[in-house]
Amino acid sequence: MAWLRSIFSRLRARLRGWARKRQGPDSGDITLNSGRIYILPNTQGIAFGFLLLAMLIGGLNYNNSLGLALAFLLAGLAVVTMHHCHRNLSRLRLRLGATGSAFAGHPAQFSVTLINDARAARFGLTLRQQSTSECIHLEPGEHQALSLTVNTSRRGWQSIDRFTVFSTFPLGLFHCWAWIHPDWRVLVYPRPAPPGLEPPAVETDTAGSADRRHGDADFSGLRNFRDGDSPRHIAWKAFARDESLVVRQYTGADVTTHVFDYDSLDQMTGEARISQLTRWILDADQRGHAYGLRLPEQVIGADLGPIHRERCLRALALL
């Protein structure tokens, strides 16, 4: 069986290559015309065919008219079904949607919207890449987004250059499908190292206080002086004005700034370093610390926020 399977898979690869060359790459809105919809009986369809054959031979042999009539009805049903199955995809509109990003080892998601412009419903639409998406029915005029998940293993760009949309409805006897060739690229971020190793000592750009509880970041108001308050927090202006001893009150954390250095992790291999840096970036981002990144040929200044995080992760992914 192994050799048979290898012949099949090679044949399929050839066929796909041919289809790709014929159809060209897809983007944006794709309307499936019949030239790119393929249909073949599936395993159940072949089983059904044998059933029909048995009925036909039996019916002919005994000249059993009702048996023959049923065999012919079921054969007709198969033919009708094939056309209904094809209709599920015919002139179906697909809109290639957003691609997410993912960390290596986690599935990346791709979104495809199926749009039914027709007056008749379409049934049993499913997408397949490595895995199979949900299977849906689309009423006339309806549209629905399906997501495809693709496993990622290595950091860097991962491209998805083919997926299948198919339906076996109504009777599951035929497999009707179309190949879509998107130019999807998903950036796979490095796999974060397990938490544990703390980043090196903090470099902070706010001068002075290392007082962790009363950071200097945000002035929130004034209150009466209590013993033990730092003299640096006394509001001298207010004191000068009305001779009351009040201190300035601050809330919030320090603006702590890390600069994560690739070279500081020289005891690790390259990939392990990248994983560790990824972990630190995620942790700092979660804690709201500003951070920068120093890579062999690139330096990213300290900053905060999703864009910055993405810029850093991208640099690591493509290192």
Contact call for residue 242 and other proteins (CB under 8 A): yes
Contact call for residue 123 and other proteins (CB under 8 A): yes
b/e per residue 168-187 (b: at least 16 CB within 10 A)? bbbbbbbbbbbbbbbebebb
**Residue 167 beta carbon to other proteins: minimum distance, rounded to whole angstroms:** 7
**Residue 272 beta carbon to other proteins: minimum distance, rounded to whole angstroms:** 27
Contact call for residue 140 and other proteins (CB under 8 A): yes
| Region 159-188 residues binding other proteins, contact defined as CB under 8 A | 167-173, 175, 182, 184
Options 6, 33, 130, 132; binder of other proteins; rule CB under 8 A: 132
Contact call for residue 234 and other proteins (CB under 8 A): no
**Residue 194 beta carbon to other proteins: minimum distance, rounded to whole angstroms:** 28
Tokens of 50: 């044998």
Contact call for residue 59 and other proteins (CB under 8 A): yes
| Region 62-91 residues binding other proteins, contact defined as CB under 8 A | 62-77, 79-81, 83-84, 86-87, 90-91
For residue 33, give the 3-state DSSP assignment: coil
In sequence order, the β-bridge partners of residue 158 are 186
How many other C-beta atoms lie within 10 A of the C-beta of residue 154?
A: 13
DSSP 234: B
C-beta closer to other proteins: residue 261 or 303: 303
Amino acid at 293: L
Contact call for residue 311 and other proteins (CB under 8 A): yes
The answer to whether the bond into 170 is cis (omega within 30° of 0) is yes
Contact call for residue 120 and other proteins (CB under 8 A): yes
**Residue 300 beta carbon to other proteins: minimum distance, rounded to whole angstroms:** 11
Instruction: Name the one residue in this structure whose structure tokens are 């050839």.
Output: 14
C-beta closer to other proteins: residue 17 or 141: 141
Options 7, 11, 98, 197; binder of other proteins; rule CB under 8 A: 98
C-beta closer to other proteins: residue 152 or 276: 152
CA distances from 282 to 30, 52, 291 (A): 38, 61, 10
Contact call for residue 106 and other proteins (CB under 8 A): no
Between the two ends of the chain, the Cα-to-Cα distance in Å is 44
Contact call for residue 300 and other proteins (CB under 8 A): no
Under rule CB under 8 A, how many of the chain's residues touch other proteins? 95
Contact call for residue 48 and other proteins (CB under 8 A): yes
Q: How far apart are CA 172 and CA 160, in angstroms?
A: 28
Contact call for residue 217 and other proteins (CB under 8 A): yes
C-beta closer to other proteins: residue 194 or 240: 240
Options 141, 195, 200, 270; binder of other proteins; rule CB under 8 A: 141
Q: How far apart are CA 254 and CA 210, in angstroms?
A: 9
For residue 289, give the 3-state DSSP assignment: coil
Q: How far apart are CA 92 and CA 164, in angstroms?
A: 13
How many other C-beta atoms lie within 10 A of the C-beta of residue 64?
A: 14
**Residue 22 beta carbon to other proteins: minimum distance, rounded to whole angstroms:** 22
Options 19, 109, 225, 238; binder of other proteins; rule CB under 8 A: 238
Q: Which distant-in-sequence residues (6+ apart) come within 8 Å of 48 by Cβ?
A: 41, 74, 78, 171, 173
140 — phi, psi (to 5°)?
-55, 130
C-beta closer to other proteins: residue 212 or 241: 241
**Residue 263 beta carbon to other proteins: minimum distance, rounded to whole angstroms:** 22
